Chain A
Amino acid sequence: MDFLGFERQDGRVGIRNWVGVISVQDNVNPVTRSIVRSVNGTIPITTLFVRGQYAQDLKIAYDTLGGLGSNPNIAAALVVGLEQTSAEDVASRIRKTGKPVEIVLIQDAGGTIAATCEGTRKALRLVRSASAARRRMCPLSSLTVGVECGGSDTTSGIASNPAVGRAADRIVAEGGRVIISETSEFFGAEQVFAKRAVNEAVRRKFLDAVLGWEQLAMSYGVDIRGTNPVADNIRGGLTTIEEKSLGAMAKGGSTPLVDVLSYSEAPLKPGLHFMATPAPAVESMTGLAAAGCQMILFSTGVGNPSGAMVSPTIKVTGNRQTLNSGFADNIDFDVSDILEKGRGVPELGDELFAYAVEVAAGSLTASEILDQRETAISRFQPTI
């Protein structure tokens, strides 16, 4: 099956055609935002920290910023830095895609006013050039789709996650890639999910990621209850992390697990992947977007409004209470008929898949229209 997408220089396909204005570190975010406010067609890819990060964390930060800029939804990138070396670390990663990359440096420009002026002019030119791109028919096999959940409750595991899982199966059947993440949301479900690994090496890698993460959590000597499941999950009826995990796993559908990825790592094979990420949605989705996901299917129960900045995020719920509240404004796809009318998961999942193809072709999601989008890159070490 085909959809209308933007073919990029590296052969990948975008579902949007934005110019990304990318902060190299937190101290340039205000300039990034000023440029984006002045130039239609741009999106801000801001970040916290980075300056003073080192070793593994610095690599994660640069790989993630580089991955977000390399995402095919980004037609061209304007990298905003304080100084040359760190800006080049990010820009060089994006240039590998062949897309246009410009840099503006606040120290070299001579302060934030001059940098905003220079950046605005560069962004104008990038948008003018990007706007010449036209959508063409592209195969669905060019899609990489993240599956995520947030604001979960018991309806997530019974309705919205299985519907997302069905849509994920359809994407895999088309030859695309699907990535499920959120390591702690496999605690208690890992043995069931591990059976789907294509071979022993993938099975071991998956179990090591989940059990190693649990050991790390336990090393602090505390009970993770209250953090995961969190208070709103518990009000929604989820009692334990095991229950939440067994429901969360359904987002991965039913296809074999072909590989395990680290945070922001791009998948190389068609099929279902697991990415080791922290559970909170903004942080997890940032890793998925940096890995090249053009889109994220996001299941929610009691309600979570977050969208990824670079990856249009389809919010799906099966909770009629959420749909009957004002939160319906933040929801893109209603699967409540599964619980309310006994409609089948495959039927609703197929409709969700068809809607996802429409979003790939340009239909806008609530988090894009309302700009409920954010970026957060994982960090695991202190800043020096």
Chain B
Amino acid sequence: MSRSIVLDKTDNVATILDATRASCECVLQGARTGRIVALADLPFGHKVAVLSIRAGESVIKYGQSIGRATRDINIGDHVHIHNVESLRGRGDLGKQEK
């Protein structure tokens, strides 16, 4: 059984400790227990959603926001640069507004 770890009880993502194939189960440890079914291949060290996250909502890890969802994310989805954006050091945003 592959493992993933949740760092804070308010987190909506877990970090994958064993690479997990799509449709396989992953057991949660740390601040949350239970199992989730991976909706995509999840590489070692990458993140999986443990709660559904709507586009525009914060992605929470360490109990803190690590960025904003750019599309709706389902439980079991791979959470990475394809569906999360940083809100810091974004000189490009200021440029678009001008």
Contacts and interface: CB of A to CB of B under 8 A. Distances in A.
A380 interface: no
Interface in B41-58: 43-47
A223 B88 CA distance: 9
Nearest to B42: A237
B45 A242 contact: no
Contacts of B29: 342
A240 B15 contact: no
Contacts of B62: 157, 246-247
A221 B67 contact: no
A154 B46 contact: yes
A247 B62 CA distance: 8
B44, B47, B65, B87 — which one has the most chain A CB atoms within 10 A of its CB? B44
B61 A188 contact: no
Contacts of B87: 188, 240, 242
A155, A339, A342 — which one has the most chain B CB atoms within 10 A of its CB? A339
Interface stretch (A13-21, A211-219, A266-274): A211-219
Contacts of A187: 88-89
The contact size tier of chain A is 35 or more
A302 B22 CA distance: 24
Given A237-B43, A237-B45, A218 B90 contact: yes
Contacts of A153: 45
B89 A239 contact: no
B65 A242 contact: yes
Interface in B40-97: 43-47, 59, 61-62, 64-67, 79-81, 84-95
Contacts of A242: 64-67, 86-88
A384 interface: no
Contacts of B93: 223
Nearest to A155: B45
A220 B91 contact: yes
A319 B45 contact: yes
Nearest to A218: B91
Interface string B20-41: 0000000001000000000000
B91 A239 contact: no
Contacts of A321: 44
B43, B88, B92 — which one has the most chain A CB atoms within 10 A of its CB? B88
A56 B44 CA distance: 44
Given A155-B45, A237-B46, A223 B89 contact: yes
Nearest to B58: A242
A189 B64 contact: yes
A339 B5 contact: yes
A152 to B, nearest CB: 11
B39 to A, nearest CB: 17
Nearest to A226: B81
Nearest to A213: B89
Interface string A242-267: 11001100000000000000000000
Given A154-B15, A225-B86, A237-B43, A243 B61 contact: yes
A222 to B, nearest CB: 5
A144 interface: no
A243 B12 CA distance: 13
13 contacts: A158-B7, A188-B87, A217-B89, A218-B94, A221-B92, A222-B92, A234-B81, A237-B45, A240-B86, A241-B88, A242-B88, A246-B62, A339-B5
Given A218-B91, A219-B91, A221-B91, 11 more contacts: A188-B66, A188-B87, A217-B91, A223-B91, A223-B93, A224-B90, A225-B81, A239-B86, A240-B67, A242-B87, A339-B17
In the complex, the 6 A-B pairs of residues with the closest C-beta atoms, listed nearest first: A237-B45, A240-B86, A218-B91, A243-B66, A224-B89, A240-B67
Interface of A: 153-155, 157-158, 184, 187-189, 192, 214, 217-225, 228, 234, 236-237, 239-243, 246-247, 301, 319, 321, 339-340, 342
